[in-house]
C-alpha cells in the first residue's frame, strides 16, 4: 500500500515537470510582456524592470532559475501585483476556493448517489424518469448561465440572498455559488450511479442475496451499492476538473476573492509567475484527485489490485 503510494507519487513528478515546462515556454511565447501598459513606460524603465526580475536573460537561464527556486518552494514574485509573492497571493485565495469546491463536491456526492439509486430502483416509473430528466438539465446548462439566473431569481426578485460580493465568514454569500458548482457533478454522479446500479442489480451475487431472503434495503446498501459506485469513482477526477473550471466563472461572477481569477487575469497580464503558480497548484490538485480515485477503486472493488 505505502509502496504503491510512493510509486504513484514518484510517477506524478514527470507529469508535473512536463506541465511546468510546457506552461513556462507557452506563456513566454505570447506577444507582449508583463510591463506593457496602456501608457507605455520609457524603454529604460522597462529594461530596468526586466533586469530586476531577470527577464533580460535567455529563456533557458530563466527556466533553470525558476526550477531551482521552485525546488525550494518559491513560486517567485508576481509581476503585476507589486509587493506580493505568488505564494502569498495563492495562500490568500486558496482557502476560500478550496472551501467552495470541497463543499460542492461533498454535496454532489451526498445528493447524487441517493438520487441515482432512487432513479435505478424506479427506472420504469415517472419518478425515475423525472430524476434523470433533471440530471440532463444539470449536465447541459453551464455554470455561467445558472449562477446569473439564480442571482436574478433569489437575489434581485426575491431578495433572499446577495447576488454577489463577499464578507469574511459570511455563509449566505456562498449559497448561490456553491449550488452552481454542485449541479453539474451532482447530475453526472446521479447518472453514473443509476447506470452502475442497474447493471449490478442484474448480477448473480445480488440475485443470491435476494434468494437468501435479505430485505431489499440491505441488498441495495450493503451489497449492490459498493460495486455500483465504481463508475462514480472513475468520474471523481474529472469532477474536480469540472469544479475548478466552474470556480473560474463562479468566483468572477459572484465577486469572491478566491484564486479562480488569477489564472485568466494572470495570463491576460502576462504575469508569468502567477500563471505558473496557478497551473502548478491546479495540476497538483488534479493529480492528487487521480491518486485518490485509484485508492478508492481498490476499496470499492477488491478485485482491483494496486500492484500495477
Partner 1 sequence: MNASGGRPCGGLWPDAWHRLMSNRGSVLALCAVGCIVFLAIGGPFLNPNRVDALDWSHVAMSPGLNGGHWFGTDRLGRDLFVRTLQGTGVSLLIGLFATAVTLLIGIGYGAVAGFIGGRTDHLMMRGVEILSGLPLIFFVILVSVIFGRSVFLLFVSIGAVGWLTMARIVRGQTLSIRQREFIEAAIATGAGTRRIIARHIVPNVIGPVIVYATLTVPQIILLESFLSFLGLGVQEPRVSLGTLIADGVGDMESAPWLLIMPGGFLALLLLCFNIVGDGLRDALDAQRR
Question: Which residues of this protein are in contact with partner 1, per CB under 8 A?
Answer: 15, 18-19, 22-23, 26-27, 29-31, 133, 136-137, 139-142, 144-145, 148-149, 151-152, 156, 163, 241, 244-245, 248-249, 252-253, 263-264, 267-268, 275, 278-279, 282-283, 286-287, 290
Which residues, listed in sequence order, are joined to residue 85 by a DSSP beta bridge?
77
Closer Cβ to partner 1, 141 or 300, answer by number: 141
Residue 239: CB atoms within 10 A of its CB come to 24
Contact, 261 vs 210, CB < 8 A?
Answer: no
Closer Cβ to partner 1, 139 or 214, answer by number: 139
Q: ∠ CA 22-23-27 to the nearest 5 degrees?
A: 120
Question: Cβ 4 to partner 1, closest distance in Å?
Answer: 17
Question: Cβ 213 to partner 1, closest distance in Å?
Answer: 30
Closer Cβ to partner 1, 209 or 281, answer by number: 281
Question: Cβ 42 to partner 1, closest distance in Å?
Answer: 26
Contact, 92 vs 47, CB < 8 A?
Answer: no
The residue with cell 426578485 is 157
Residue 113: CB atoms within 10 A of its CB come to 21
The Cβ-side half-sphere exposure at 114, using a 13 Å CA radius, reads 6
Looking at residue 142, the DSSP 8-state letter turns out to be -
Question: Cβ 263 to partner 1, closest distance in Å?
Answer: 7
Measured in Å, how far apart are the chain's first and last C-alpha atoms? 11
Question: Cβ 267 to partner 1, closest distance in Å?
Answer: 4
Closer Cβ to partner 1, 57 or 245, answer by number: 245
Closer Cβ to partner 1, 105 or 244, answer by number: 244
Amino acid at each position: 500500500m505505502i509502496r504503491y503510494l510512493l510509486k504513484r507519487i514518484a510517477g506524478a513528478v514527470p507529469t508535473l515537470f512536463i506541465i511546468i515546462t510546457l506552461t513556462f515556454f507557452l506563456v513566454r511565447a505570447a506577444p507582449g510582456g508583463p510591463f506593457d501598459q496602456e501608457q507605455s513606460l520609457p524603454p529604460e524603465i522597462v529594461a530596468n524592470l526586466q533586469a530586476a526580475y531577470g527577464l533580460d536573460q535567455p529563456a533557458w537561464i530563466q527556466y533553470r532559475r525558476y526550477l531551482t527556486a521552485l525546488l525550494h518552494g518559491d513560486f517567485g514574485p508576481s509581476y503585476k501585483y507589486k509587493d506580493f509573492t505568488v505564494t502569498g497571493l495563492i495562500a490568500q485565495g486558496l482557502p476560500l476556493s478550496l472551501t467552495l469546491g470541497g463543499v460542492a463536491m461533498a454535496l454532489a456526492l451526498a445528493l447524487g448517489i441517493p438520487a441515482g439509486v432512487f432513479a435505478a430502483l424506479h427506472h420504469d416509473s415517472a419518478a425515475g424518469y423525472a430524476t434523470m430528466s433533471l440530471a440532463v438539465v444539470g449536465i447541459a446548462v453551464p455554470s455561467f448561465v445558472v449562477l446569473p439566473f439564480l442571482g436574478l431569481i433569489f437575489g434581485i426578485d426575491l431578495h433572499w440572498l446577495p447576488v454577489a460580493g463577499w464578507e469574511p465568514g459570511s455563509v449566505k454569500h456562498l449559497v448561490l455559488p456553491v449550488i452552481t458548482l454542485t449541479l453539474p457533478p451532482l447530475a453526472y454522479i446521479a447518472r453514473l450511479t443509476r447506470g452502475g446500479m442497474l447493471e449490478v442489480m442484474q448480477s448473480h451475487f445480488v440475485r443470491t442475496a435476494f434468494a437468501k431472503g435479505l430485505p431489499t434495503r440491505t441488498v441495495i446498501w450493503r451489497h449492490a451499492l459498493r460495486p455500483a459506485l465504481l463508475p462514480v469513482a472513475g468520474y471523481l477526477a474529472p469532477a474536480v476538473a469540472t469544479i475548478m473550471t466552474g470556480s473560474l466563472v463562479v468566483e468572477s461572477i459572484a465577486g469572491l476573492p478566491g484564486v479562480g481569477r488569477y489564472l485568466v487575469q494572470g495570463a491576460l497580464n502576462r504575469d508569468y509567475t502567477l500563471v505558473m503558480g496557478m497551473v502548478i497548484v491546479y495540476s497538483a490538485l488534479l493529480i492528487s484527485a487521480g491518486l485518490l480515485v485509484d485508492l478508492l477503486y481498490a476499496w470499492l472493488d477488491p478485485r482491483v489490485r494496486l500492484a500495477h
